Amino acid sequence: MTFTNLCVLGLGYIGLPTASTFATHGMHVVGVDVNPRVVETLQNGGLHIHEPGLRTLVQAALKSGNLSISTEPEEAEAFIIAVPTPFKEGKRADLSYVISASEAIAPYLREGNLVVLESTSPPRTTMDVVAPILERSGLKAGDDFHLAYSPERVLPGQILRELIDNARVIGGIDRASSEAGRDLYATFVRGEIICTTATTAEMVKLMENTYRDVNIAIANEFSRLAARFGVDVWEAIELANRHPRVDILRPGPGVGGHCISVDPWFLVEAAPDLTPLIATSRQVNDDQPQVVVDLLQEALGGLDGKRIAVLGLAYKPDVDDLRESPAVEIACRLAERGAEVIAYEPYKLDAEFPGISMAQSLDAALGGADGLALLVAHTPLRNLAPEEVAAKTKARIAVDAVNGWDPVAWEQAGFRLTRLGVGI
Give the binding-site size for ligand SAJ (rule: CB under 6 A). Answer: 20
Choose among 260, 257, 270, 280: nearest CA to 93. Answer: 270
The one among 28, 146, 153, 333 contacting ligand SAJ by CB under 6 A? 153
The residue range among 175-183, 205-213, 343-351, 392-400 that interacts with ligand SAJ, by the rule CB under 6 A, is: 205-213
Measured CA to CA, the distance from residue 5 to residue 259 in angstroms comes to 29
Query: Which helix (H) or strand (E) covers residue 417, if one does?
Result: strand 416-419
Question: How many Å is the Cα radius of gyration of the chain?
Answer: 24
The one among 40, 208, 269, 286 contacting ligand SAJ by CB under 6 A? 208
Strand-strand pairing, 168-172 and 146-149? antiparallel
Q: Is 205 a catalytic residue?
A: yes
The residue range among 67-75, 151-159, 329-337, 359-367 that interacts with ligand SAJ, by the rule CB under 6 A, is: 151-159
The one among 57, 80, 148, 154 contacting ligand SAJ by CB under 6 A? 154
The one among 125, 177, 209, 403 contacting ligand SAJ by CB under 6 A? 209
Establish if 315 lies at the interface with ligand SAJ (CB under 6 A).
Answer: yes
Q: Is 195 a catalytic residue?
A: no
The one among 4, 155, 272, 363 contacting ligand SAJ by CB under 6 A? 155
The one among 12, 15, 156, 312 contacting ligand SAJ by CB under 6 A? 156
Type of residue at 214: V
Q: Which is nearer to ligand SAJ, 134 or 259 (CB)?
A: 259
One of 7, 88, 140, 259 is an active-site residue; which one?
A: 259
Q: To the nearest whole angstrom, how small is the minimum distance from the Cβ of residue 317 to ligand SAJ? A: 7
What is the strand order of the sheet 78-81 is part of?
67-70, 28-32, 5-9, 78-81, 114-117, 146-149, 168-172, 193-197
Q: To the nearest whole angstrom, how small is the minimum distance from the Cβ of residue 326 to ligand SAJ? A: 6
Establish if 184 lies at the interface with ligand SAJ (CB under 6 A).
Answer: no
92 strand-pairing partners: 88
Q: Which is nearer to ligand SAJ, 251 or 386 (CB)?
A: 251
Q: To the nearest whole angstrom, how small is the minimum distance from the Cβ of residue 209 to ligand SAJ? A: 5
131 in Cβ contact with 173 (< 8 Å): yes
Type of residue at 135: E
Establish if 83 lies at the interface with ligand SAJ (CB under 6 A).
Answer: no
381 in Cβ contact with 402 (< 8 Å): no
288 in Cβ contact with 326 (< 8 Å): yes
One of 205, 316, 348, 392 is an active-site residue; which one?
A: 205
SS3 readout for 385-397: CHHHHHHHCCCCE
78 in Cβ contact with 116 (< 8 Å): yes
3-state helix, strand and coil shares in percent for the chain, rounded to the nearest 5: 45, 15, 40
Type of residue at 21: T
Q: Which is nearer to ligand SAJ, 208 or 287 (CB)?
A: 208
Measured CA to CA, the distance from residue 375 to residue 385 in angstroms comes to 17
Under rule CB under 6 A, which residues in 232-271 are in contact with ligand SAJ? 249-250, 252, 255-257, 259-260
Which residue ranges make up the site for ligand SAJ (CB under 6 A)?
120, 152-156, 208-209, 212, 216, 249-250, 252, 255-257, 259-260, 315-316
Active site residues: 205, 259
